[in-house]
């Protein structure tokens, strides 16, 4: 791995503190109690400039909602998001727009994220056009430069997305995302809709672009092998909460949370000779409406203890920058056991910040 795994820089590019996002559920009856989907609960993180930050978890665990909250698409119910030191959701509309220009997103499905009626030129030009201040010739030159960068030809400029394969469409999506020279790029499962042989092409392209433009990536994936190879820091989420976080070296060398272990063992390898002692999880992810009260993972945890179902597990430091929320690691404190059920979820300790 290239980037240094030392302590992150003193001023992070993006910082989240105790971010929660809840979505209201439609009432079944007019006066019934309003219920909430707790998509993201109490997440704190720090992303420093130039790094690749991985978010891992199964579908429905809140990874995409968290990413949307990062780039100003979903206002968090609680907590703060700071981008380049400014609190993102407190900015005035004009400044907010300015900040948003520095953040872009690459979507999972290259078939539904490109307007089928636009030509490739229209698609890549659109952000420039909306920003304004560029002449037609300038925009054209810029689009051409980007097409070359992502490995497409000049002739492709006036074709429609339907003329391209999945991999090529994803290249168009990448070109569109970097046309405004953003600092921060969220890649939401950028390769999971593509063929295996194209995976590597797109991943290599993303890495090249990051190096040449000094971008900061948030890389969302459920493929741990990819995350391990590209990310410097990793966050493992389950049902809206952070289970474990740390540098990818520490986390993959020494996974502590049972969920991380299960995820790792569920990754099927192409190594036919290796033995497979898999931790098979029972059941499915529970609903994020009324999630389990204690540790969110306890119902599926093969090592669950009595207190796990009632007492929420808090993030504790295990080693430098490696944190885990599990009673197996932290143990139960006597006060916890005494206080029992209605112990409030206290916010995460601010250990990222030294």
Partner 1 sequence: MSDTVLEVRNLKVAFPAPGGVIRAVEGIDLTTQKGECVALVGESGCGKSVTALSIMKLLRTPPSVSRIDRLELDDRDLTHLTERDMERVRGKDMAMIFQDAMTALNPVMTVGKQIDEVYRRHTKLSRKEAREETVKALELVGVPEARSRADSFPHELSGGMRQRVLIALAFACMPKLIIADEPTTSLDVTIQAQVLDVLKSMQKDHGVSALLITHDLSVVANMADTVYVMYSGKIVERGAVLELFTDPRHPYTEGLLGSVPKLSDDKQAFVQIPDTVPHPMHKPDGCYFHPRCSYATDRCRQHMPRLETLDKGRQVRCWHPLR
Q: Contact positions toward partner 1, by CB under 8 A?
A: 1-2, 58-59, 165-168, 195-201, 203-204, 207, 222-226, 228-230, 252, 262-273, 276, 278, 280-281, 284-285
Q: How many angstroms separate the CA atoms of 59 and 75, rounded?
A: 21
Q: How far is the CB of 218 from partner 1 (least distance, A)?
A: 18
For partner 1, the closer CB: 20 or 65: 65
CB 169 within 8 A of CB 50: no
**Upper half-sphere CA count for residue 261 (Cβ side, 13 Å):** 17
CB 177 within 8 A of CB 146: no
For partner 1, the closer CB: 172 or 281: 281
Q: How far is the CB of 269 from partner 1 (least distance, A)?
A: 6
Task: Give the tokens for residue 44.
Answer: 């704190």
Q: How many angstroms separate the CA atoms of 193 and 153, rounded?
A: 23
For partner 1, the closer CB: 10 or 59: 59
Q: How many angstroms separate the CA atoms of 124 and 146, rounded?
A: 9
Task: Give the tokens for residue 260.
Answer: 């991380």
Q: How far is the CB of 200 from partner 1 (least distance, A)?
A: 4
Q: How many angstroms separate the CA atoms of 265 and 259, rounded?
A: 10
Q: How far is the CB of 89 from partner 1 (least distance, A)?
A: 31
Range list of H helices, the chain: 63-70, 93-101, 120-131, 136-149, 166-178, 196-213, 224-230, 248-253, 258-266, 327-330, 334-339
Q: How far is the CB of 70 from partner 1 (least distance, A)?
A: 22
For partner 1, the closer CB: 135 or 212: 212
Q: How far is the CB of 91 from partner 1 (least distance, A)?
A: 35
For partner 1, the closer CB: 79 or 110: 110
CB 57 within 8 A of CB 238: yes
For partner 1, the closer CB: 82 or 228: 228
The number of residues in the chain equals 354
Q: How far is the CB of 268 from partner 1 (least distance, A)?
A: 4
For partner 1, the closer CB: 88 or 239: 239
């Amino acid at each position: 791995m290239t980037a240094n795994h030392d302590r992150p820089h003193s001023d992070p590019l993006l910082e989240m503190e105790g971010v929660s996002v809840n979505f209201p559920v439609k009432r079944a009856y007019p006066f019934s109690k309003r219920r909430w989907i707790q998509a993201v609960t109490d997440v704190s993180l720090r992303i420093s400039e130039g790094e690749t930050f991985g978010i891992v978890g199964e579908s429905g665990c809140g990874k995409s909602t968290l990413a949307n909250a990062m780039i100003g698409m979903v206002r968090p119910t609680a907590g703060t998001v700071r981008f380049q030191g400014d609190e993102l959701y407190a900015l005035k509309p004009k400044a907010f727009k300015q900040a948003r220009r520095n953040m872009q997103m690459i979507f999972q499905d290259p078939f539904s994220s490109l307007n089928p009626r636009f030509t490739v030129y229209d698609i890549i030009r659109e952000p420039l056009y909306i920003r304004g201040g560029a002449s037609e010739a300038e925009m054209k030159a810029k689009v051409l430069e980007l097409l070359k960068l992502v490995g497409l030809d000049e002739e492709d400029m006036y074709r429609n997305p339907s003329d391209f394969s999945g991999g090529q469409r994803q290249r168009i999506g990448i070109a569109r995302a970097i046309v405004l020279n953003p600092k921060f790029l969220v890649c939401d499962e950028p390769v999971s809709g593509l063929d295996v042989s194209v995976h590597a092409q797109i991943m290599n392209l993303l890495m090249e672009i990051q190096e040449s433009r000094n971008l900061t990536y948030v890389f969302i994936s459920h493929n741990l092998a990819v995350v391990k190879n590209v990310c410097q820091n990793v966050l493992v989420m389950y049902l809206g909460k952070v289970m474990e976080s740390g540098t990818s070296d520490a986390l993959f060398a020494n996974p502590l949370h049972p969920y991380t272990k299960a995820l790792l063992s569920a990754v099927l390898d192409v190594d036919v000779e290796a033995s497979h002692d898999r931790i098979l999880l029972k059941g499915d992810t529970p609903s994020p409406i009324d999630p389990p009260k204690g540790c969110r993972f306890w119902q599926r945890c093969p090592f669950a203890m009595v207190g796990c179902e009632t007492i929420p597990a808090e993030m504790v430091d295990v080693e430098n920058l490696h944190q885990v929320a599990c009673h197996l690691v932290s143990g139960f404190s006597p006060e916890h056991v005494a206080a029992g059920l209605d112990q409030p979820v206290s916010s995460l300790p601010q250990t990222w910040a030294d």
